[in-house]
């Protein structure tokens, strides 16, 4: 098991009247060594406008 000490979750209070659900899908065809596919989801609950990114990649 790999320990990732640099990663954490940050919870921000959101007003339920103004939030949107954003879903991004990334599918990589035959990206693995055995030629199988990968499918990744990024699900975000945030305000539609004036959003900030709280992380750096």
Rounded percentage of the chain residues whose pLDDT exceeds 90: 0
Domain span holding position 30 = 1-57
Report residue 47's pLDDT band, with 50, 70 and 90 as the boundaries.
confident
What pLDDT is recorded for position 12? 78
Mean pLDDT across the chain, nearest whole number?
A: 72
User: Region 26-48: what's the mean pLDDT?
Assistant: 74
pLDDT at 6 over 60: yes
Separation CA 47–CA 52 (nearest Å):
9
Structural domain tally of the chain?
A: 1
User: ∠ CA 25-20-12 to the nearest 5 degrees?
Assistant: 100
């Amino acid at each position: 098991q790999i320990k990732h000490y640099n990663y954490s979750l940050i919870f921000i209070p959101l007003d339920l009247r103004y939030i949107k659900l954003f879903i991004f899908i990334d599918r990589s065809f035959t990206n693995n060594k055995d030629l199988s596919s990968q499918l990744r989801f990024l699900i975000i609950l945030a305000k539609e406008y004036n959003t900030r990114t709280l992380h750096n990649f």
